[in-house]
Structure 1
Amino acid sequence: MPPRRQVTARQVRLGAELRKLREAAGLKAREAAALLGADSVQMSQIESGIAGVSETRVRRLAAQYACTDEALIDALVVMATERTHGWWDDYRGVLPQVNLDVAEAEHHATFLQEVVITHVPGLLQTPAYARAVFRYMRPELPESELAHRVEHRMRRRVAIEGNDPTPYETVVHEFALRIRVADRQTSVSQLRLILEEIERGHATVRVVPVDRDGFAGADASMMYMGGPVPKLDTGFLDAPTGTLFIDAEAPLNRLRTLFRTVKGSSLDPSESRDFIHRLTKEL
């Protein structure tokens, strides 16, 4: 297959998983390439996501690597052969590739877990709230790109609101709910939307009150996305400097632990709903 012009995070992940299997088998890239009748350059392109790989080759490599995890192999085959053209493709060439990668990852996730400290989660934001956040974080953006980013963020919500919604649980700090990114009406409308999403069953929301003792997770913002098998779980950290996708087992374990820890500091869903309702009245 010819090299790709644009490589997505999902394609990079497939290549990374094939490389992990090769390394676990103790084979060098040139040895694996020989099994396919290819050369080391082609193998490097496959393992970096630059070049595609067929189902036959995925299964042949898995067999040569002595991988017996059939569920993992089947999932890798789907990643290699699926030709999904999702709604995010409407923004190709319009928004940075990472925006498309996040939407695609959410589309394929089996569950979503998120921790947010400083802002309302993107999947729960109103257009006015999202616009205020983008305008503050990226004041140089022209109006046209700002509008595209807000629209894209709103369309991401299909992951939890569509015909086959993905289970979504988020832990939000009280600080994120109280801070006014714009004006009072924007904040009130934002809290009401969160309550609506809770009532519709689209989101499980847990709040960490500002007076909760023993909470030291002020920098804990993260998203954890379940894969078709646990080995294909994905995490990402969103920061002003960029979005980092995580697929290595050690940092994924840290993210799992982090979510459990922060969740343990939060109110339960019923208490959280009542908390947000009271806060709406206070504002």
Structure 2
Amino acid sequence: MAARTSPTERQKRLGAELRIMRTSAGVSAETAAGLLGVDRGKISNIEAGARPISPERLRILAHGCDCTDNGYIDALIEMAQPSSRGWWETYRGSLPQGLIDIAELEAHALRMRAAYAIHMPGLLQTTDHALALFRVVIPQLPEREIALRLAHRVERQGVLDGSSPPSYTAIVHEAALRMQFGGRAVARDQLEYLLKRSEHPGIRVRVIPFVAGAFPGSGQTVLYAEAAAPQLDTVQIDNSHGPLFVYSQAQLAKYRAHLDWMERIALSPGDSRDFIRSIAQQL
């Protein structure tokens, strides 16, 4: 199989997991190459996500590394399978790689929890709200890219309405609810849309009011995406330079605790709807 010139975040994650499996078992790259019948350089490329690995070779490698966690192995094999072309691929080369990786992460998640201190959840934004955000990006985006980002955002939102959508919990701070991006009318429509989507059986919106006080990582936008095996969970963090993906076990535990804390101080889904409704009525 030919090497890739620009592996996706998902492909890089698979390679990283294979390296962890190998090194944790004390298996050298040379030994792994012998098991798979390839040269050592290909092992480096596989572990960098630059070269695919067949499901058959992945099973051989797992056996050689004494990995007996069948759920984990099966999840890795699913990642290694040649996948059908996802809708996000139509944007590759036209939008930043990180945006494509977020869409792919969401598409494969079984459950998602996300926390927002300033912004509305991207999966629950109206087009007018999203457009207001895209128009204040620095450096300024050309109109064509704004249109592409908007179309990409709308398609991303479809993940919550598919045939087997992931469960989705959005923890939103009161500050985000009171932001008037795009003006009062846009803000009111956004809150009404948030209320409507919160009635969906797979979507929970929970509000942290100002009076709840401090919480870990205040101000940070965090998405925790659960995978088929817990070792393959991923945290995606927004920053000014683009999305950051983290998945060390220590970091996963940290952000699970972070989100658990926020849920403990958040209003219930029903009280959250009442809270959102009261703010919308003020606009």
TM-score bracket relative to the smaller structure: over 0.9
- Determine what percentage of the aligned residue pairs are the same residue: 41
Aligned to 1:60: 60
1:219: Cα distance to partner?
Answer: 2.6
CA distance in 2, matches of 1:215, 1:114: 14
What amino acid is the match of 1:254?
K
RMSD between aligned residues: 1.2
What amino acid is the match of 1:94?
S
> Would the aligned equivalents of 1:220 and 1:258 in 2 still touch at CA under 8 Å?
no
Within a 5 Å distance, the mapping from 1:161-200 to structure 2 comes to 161-200=161-200
What amino acid is the match of 2:76?
L
CA distance in 1, matches of 2:94, 2:246: 25
> Would the aligned equivalents of 1:217 and 1:262 in 2 still touch at CA under 8 Å?
no
Moved more, 62-71 or 155-164: 155-164
> Would the aligned equivalents of 1:12 and 1:47 in 2 still touch at CA under 8 Å?
yes
Aligned to 1:86: 86
> Would the aligned equivalents of 1:127 and 1:150 in 2 still touch at CA under 8 Å?
yes
CA distance in 1, matches of 2:133, 2:66: 49
SS at match of 1:225: strand
1:73 aligns with 2:50: no
CA distance in 2, matches of 1:259, 1:236: 13
CA distance in 2, matches of 1:35, 1:275: 59
Moved more, 159-168 or 248-257: 159-168
Within a 5 Å distance, the mapping from 1:134-173 to structure 2 comes to 134-173=134-173
CA distance in 2, matches of 1:26, 1:16: 15
SS at match of 1:168: strand
Aligned to 2:12: 12
1:68: Cα distance to partner?
Answer: 0.2
> Would the aligned equivalents of 2:174 and 2:209 in 1 still touch at CA under 8 Å?
yes
Unaligned runs of 5+ in 2: none
Unaligned runs of 5+ in 1: none
Aligned to 1:273: 273
Normalising by structure 2, we get a TM-score of 0.97
1:229: Cα distance to partner?
Answer: 0.9
**Post-superposition CA distance 1:47-78 (Å, at most 9, x none):** 00000001111000000000000111111111
SS at match of 2:192: helix
Aligned length: 283
Aligned to 1:96: 96
> Would the aligned equivalents of 2:216 and 2:258 in 1 still touch at CA under 8 Å?
no
Aligned to 1:282: 282
CA distance in 2, matches of 1:179, 1:65: 52
